[in-house]
Chain A
C-alpha cells in the first residue's frame, strides 16, 4: 500500500468526510461530471528520513482540494478533512501520524468558463507516514 491508497481509504472511511463526499475521493484528478461535493488530493512534496531504528519515515505535504456546491459546503469538507487527519491512524498496517504543519483552508473559488461558480477550499497538511 502506498500513501495515495492509504489516504484515499482513510478519507473514504472517515465518517465526517464520507458523510459529505461519499466515495467521491480522488487522487490528483476528479471525474468530470462526477458530482459535488468532492475531495481531490495530491502530493506536493515528500522527504523520506531514516530513523534511529533504521526505519524510513516519509514526511509528505498533501494538498486537499475540497469542491462543493456552496462556500459553506467546501469549507465544511476542508474542516472535516483536517479533523480526520489530526490524530494518528492506521490503514492495513500503513501508519499515518497526526498531521503537522497546516496551510489554509484557502478560498479558491472561481467562475468557470461555463458561467457557473466553482466553490473550492484548499487545505495543505504535512503528514508523517510509514514507507
Chain B
C-alpha cells in the first residue's frame, strides 16, 4: 500500500501550532507551512531545543517565552512608505475619491510596528484629510502594537524611509515629522491623534467597523489559501460601497474565491475597489 508517510518534523510542527493555539489562542494553524516551518526552525535553534516537541514543551510551561516566540512566527519586516509607487498612486489617484467622503475610516490590517500607520497619517495630513479620518491599526502581536503606539524607529532606518517618502510624492521633508535623539527617531505624537491601535486577528475576529479603505500589505502571503479567502471576505464585508483594498507589491486576488467582488483600480500597485452591489 502506498501510504504517504508524514515526516516526524511535520507532525511535531502541527502539534506545536495546535498547542500554541490551545494555550495562548494565537492561531497559526492555517498559515503557509513553508514559511512557518523555516521560522520555527530558527526559533528551535534560538531556544536550543533539539526538536519541535521540546520547543512545544518549553512554550507550554514557560509563558515568558511567548513574546519572543511570537516575534519568530510573525514577520515584522516593514518600512515607512514601503513601495513608494503604492503611496504615490494613493496620493494621486485614490485621494480624489476619498475627498468626496465627509468622514473616512481607514483600516491598516497587520500594522506591524506602525510604519504603515505613520505613512498614512503623514499622507492624509499633507493632503488635508487628516481631520476627517480615523485610522484603525491592528495586529495580532502585542509587542508590535506597543512599538506602533510609540512611533520610535532606529535612526539608521530613516534614510530609507526618507527616500521612500520622497519617491512617493512627499510634499516636504520626512524630518518635519520626527525628532532624532540617541540613535532613534521619534515620530510626532500628533500623528497618532486620529489613530486607534488594537489587537485583531484576521484568523478569528469579525468585522468591527465600516471602512473606506483597507491596507493589508504583505500579510496575506503568510496565510494559506483558505485563510486568505477568509481575510479577503472580511475586508469585503468591512468595506463600504466602492471602498478600496490595497495589497502588497506582489500580492493579488487572482486565486481568491472573492476575486469577483472587486475590480482592479490600479493593477500595478495592487489597489482594488469593491464592486457596487447589483
The answer to whether A and B assemble together is no
